[in-house]
Amino acid sequence: MKQYKRFLMMWDQTFSQILLGLVLLITVILLGLASPFFMTWDNWRNILDQSALQVIIAVGMTFVICTGGIDLSVGSITALSGVCMAVAMHAGVSVEMAVFLGIIAGAIVGMGNGLLISRLNLNPFIVTLGTMAVVRGVALIITKGIPIYGFPREFTWLGNGHIGPLNPPMLMAVFIALLGALVLNQTKLGNYTLALGGNEEALRRSGVAHKLYKLIIYTICGITAAMGGMVVTARLNTAEPLAGSMFELDAIAAVVLGGTDMKGGRGSITGTVMACLLLGVLRNGLTILSIPSYYQQLAIGIIILVAIIISELRLKNAPGHGNTIYLGG
Amino acid sequence: MSQSIEPAIKIVHMSKSFGNIEALRDVSLEIYSGEILAIVGDNGAGKSTLIKILAGALTSDEGQIIIGDKSYNFLSPGRAISLGISTVYQDLALVDCRDVASNIFLGREPVYAGFLVDRRKMQKEAARILEGLQINIPSLSTQVGLLSGGQRQGVAVARAVYQGGKVIIFDEPTAAMGLQESAKVIKLLLKLREEGMAVIVISHNLNQVFEISDRICVMCHGQVVAICKTKESLPNQIVGLIMGATVKEAYNAAGVYSDEAI
Ligand SMILES: Nc1ncnc2c1ncn2[C@@H]1O[C@H](COP(=O)(O)OP(=O)(O)O)[C@@H](O)[C@H]1O
Ligand SMILES: [Mg+2]
């Protein structure tokens, strides 16, 4: 029994990433064969551009899910931060300052989530479900429901500028992913993120300010969501109060597909990035193959379901959740 | 036993309730450096509750903890550790999905370049600590949840020893261990006493208790019913006390009387 479990765990650690890599590779090859347009740089630039936005938001989400939590408010934060930047710029504030304010707005919402969850010990799902609605409401109230458009060149460059063959969102995504991986794997914050998901009480008894770390993690997620908002707003040259709906689902899907445990304690930024790419490639491929968008929704929904089922099955055999030997008291 | 001087820690009039369960009722206790104090009592007697309050994991409703000339109404876990109280909890407080080294250094990770966790140093140090304690764990990168019960207890013991300090608490440290492993932990307790630490050990194994302890504190229904010198007690008396006999009954039955008994 022990041997079997050990094998499963060894398999498990690299399993998701190898599987994900294989699926990605096969999908790319199949799509390449199906459509000559798929393998063109123009198309890949498109895929990377879409995936970049998702990576930025999903990195923050990875941290939150590693603590065993969830953040449903990222989509609404995306909208709010974009709206804040837009209002600021239209009020004559400099682009830098407007971006800063928008990011701060995201950080504040994240901090609010973190405070409610850590201080009042509330369920992250319920709290962020609430802030999802509240924040969306605020974005709608600020804009009176009407999109705000027309921003300075320096701002829109952040969404659709050119840096060699790449664009700013891609570089931002790479930077955030690298930073996220470094923090998760090499710093105390990362260690405590995983420990929060594994056994928060153990972390508390070690004398770590566990609530503070939780607060920081939700704030980080708010900040990455706000950066996503900046990218969306800059790319479209429009701040939509309804922007970013379903982003939370995409982000959660990418994180779970990437092998991070929904119950926390184990996670990987590499996996998240690969999953974002896979989802990007799939969406793009389905579009190229002229499959109607509602089928795309269905296909991606099924993939997410499969990922969650695999994740749950692995969890059943993983240590630290459910089958721990507790010695009483 | 060097009981002449000030106690390392004093607990005075400690009470704690969970809802309407009185887990501790007016408990007072002194622990001295260089002694092993065994706490015995039936399940639910309040032993773990008492040491959790000492370790800062729980706060008491009433009572103080006195360390040196300072009196505390409660300790936080971080405070307790910095005051030199290290604890092996009964539930071990391990993060099962993390590796051995991460658990031993949890909360005290060495860093380099200001913020990067020095994993190599952690692995090396963890190996050294475990070897020093003769705790046998094949691979330090194994997740703690995959280890055997005894090995897990070994990791928890290693963490407490690494934290160091002047008071070390073991809540049933050998419950899941085999004979060899427990023997090692017993040796460790004796060594810690030798080094002048105050050692508190909770155990159901009376043979073990009589073998190593200097004093025995018997708890029953949330109260300390007796504190006896091990040398002057007999296992039967202790069993009687654990079962709820009054001190007099227990000692009459055994025909001895200890002046330390309440
Ligand atoms: N967190 C808790 N919530 C409610 N009751 C508790 C809690 N912890 C302990 N108790 C109760 O307090 C009493 C003492 O428990 P404990 O200190 O664990 O006993 P022991 O370690 O001596 O077996 C028991 O009746 C137990 O059920
Ligand atoms: Mg106990």
pLDDT of B154-166, one tens digit each?
Answer: 999 999 999 988 9
Report how far ligand 1's centroid is from the alpha carbon of B133 (Å).
30
| Structural domain includes residue B4 | no
Rounded to whole angstroms, the Cα distance separating A193 from A148 reads: 37
Q: Is the dihedral of CA B27, B28, B31, B35 positive or negative?
A: negative
Report how far ligand 1's centroid is from the alpha carbon of A286 (Å).
58
User: Is some CB atom of chain B closer than 8 A to the CB atom of A317?
Assistant: no
What CA–CA distances, in Å, run from A271 to A171, A197, A226, A254, B82? 18, 18, 22, 8, 38
Q: Calculate the dihedral angle through the C-alpha atoms of B124, B127, B129, B133, rounding to the nearest 10 degrees.
A: -170
Reported ipTM exceeds the 0.85 cut:
yes
What pLDDT sits at residue A7?
55
| Structural domain includes residue A26 | no
> Which range among A212-221, A317-326, B31-40, B246-255 shows the weakest confidence by mean pLDDT?
A317-326
> How many domains are there within chain B?
1
| Structural domain includes residue B2 | no
| Structural domain includes residue A322 | no
Q: Calculate the dihedral angle through the C-alpha atoms of A235, A238, A244, A250, rounding to the nearest 10 degrees.
A: -20
**Do A229 and A78 meet the contact criterion of CB atoms below 8 Å apart?**
yes
Query: Which range marks the domain in which residue B68 is found?
Result: 9-261
- DSSP H or E run through A216: helix A210-236
For the cut 80, the answer to whether the pLDDT of residue B123 exceeds it is: yes
**Cβ of B95 and A198 within 8 Å?**
yes
The ligand 1 atom nearest the CA atom of B47: 22
Ligand 1, atom 19: nearest CA belongs to which residue?
B44
Q: Is the dihedral of CA B231, B233, B239, B242 positive or negative?
A: negative
Six-digit token string for A61: 């989400």
| Structural domain includes residue B236 | yes
The response to whether residue B224 sits with its C-beta less than 6 Å from ligand 1 reads: no
**Cβ of B115 and A188 within 8 Å?**
yes
What pLDDT sits at residue B252?
65
Q: Which of B42, B50, B51, B97 to mutate to test the interface with A (most CBs of A within 10 A)?
A: B97
Ligand 1, atom 12: nearest CA belongs to which residue?
B23
What pLDDT sits at residue B2?
47
What pLDDT sits at residue A62?
98
- Give the chain A residue whose CA is nearest to the CA of B52: A205
Nearest to B197 by CA among B157, B165, B156, B171: B165
3-state helix, strand, coil in chain A (%, to 5): 75, 0, 20
Q: What type of residue sits at position B149? A: G
The response to whether residue B153 sits with its C-beta less than 6 Å from ligand 1 reads: no
Segment-wise mean pLDDT, segments of 10 residues, chain A, 329 residues: 55 71 92 92 94 97 97 98 97 96 98 98 97 98 96 95 93 98 96 96 96 98 98 96 93 91 91 94 90 84 80 64 38
What mean pLDDT do residues B117-131 have? 94
| Structural domain includes residue B148 | yes
Phi, psi of B93 (to 5 degrees): 50, 50
Q: Measured between CA atoms, how close is A207 to chain B, in angstroms?
A: 4
What pLDDT sits at residue A317?
63
User: Is some CB atom of chain A closer than 8 A to the CB atom of B102?
Assistant: yes
Could you give the residue ranges of the DSSP H alpha helices within A120-209? 124-143, 153-160, 168-186, 188-205
| Structural domain includes residue A260 | no
User: Is some CB atom of chain A closer than 8 A to the CB atom of B92?
Assistant: yes
Residue A152 CA, distance from chain mean position:
28
> Which range among A50-59, B23-32, B109-118, B178-187 shows the weakest confidence by mean pLDDT?
B178-187
| Structural domain includes residue A160 | yes
Report how far ligand 1's centroid is from the alpha carbon of A201 (Å).
16
> How many domains are there within chain A?
1
**Euclidean distance between the first and final Cα of chain B, in Å?**
20
Q: Measured between CA atoms, how close is A206 to chain B, in angstroms?
A: 6
User: Is some CB atom of chain A closer than 8 A to the CB atom of B77?
Assistant: yes
What pLDDT sits at residue A324?
38
What pLDDT sits at residue B261?
46
The response to whether residue B95 sits with its C-beta less than 6 Å from ligand 1 reads: no
What pLDDT sits at residue A6?
56
The response to whether residue B21 sits with its C-beta less than 6 Å from ligand 1 reads: yes
Rounded to whole angstroms, the Cα distance separating B74 from A239 reads: 52
Mean pLDDT for chain B overall: 90
Query: Which range marks the domain in which residue A122 is found?
Result: 50-245
User: Is some CB atom of chain A closer than 8 A to the CB atom of B180?
Assistant: no
Residues of B in contact with A198 (CB under 8 A): 95-98
Report how far ligand 1's centroid is from the alpha carbon of A329 (Å).
6
Q: Which of B39, B106, B109, B163 to mutate to test the interface with A (most CBs of A within 10 A)?
A: B106
Q: What is the CATH number of the domain that holds B90?
A: 3.40.50.300
| Structural domain includes residue A116 | yes
| Structural domain includes residue B3 | no
Q: Measured between CA atoms, how close is A71 to chain B, in angstroms?
A: 22
What pLDDT sits at residue B14?
96
| Structural domain includes residue B199 | yes
Residues of A in contact with B102 (CB under 8 A): 191, 195
Ligand 1, atom 20: nearest CA belongs to which residue?
B44
| Structural domain includes residue B101 | yes
What pLDDT sits at residue B262?
45
Rounded to whole angstroms, the Cα distance separating A309 from B201 reads: 45
Cβ neighbours for A50, distance < 8 A, ≥ 6 positions apart:
A280, A283, A284
**Do A50 and A287 meet the contact criterion of CB atoms below 8 Å apart?**
no
What pLDDT sits at residue B181?
85
The partner residue sitting opposite B96, judged by closest CB among A191, A201, A319, is A319
Report how far ligand 2's centroid is from the alpha carbon of A26 (Å).
55
**Cβ of A198 and B108 within 8 Å?**
no
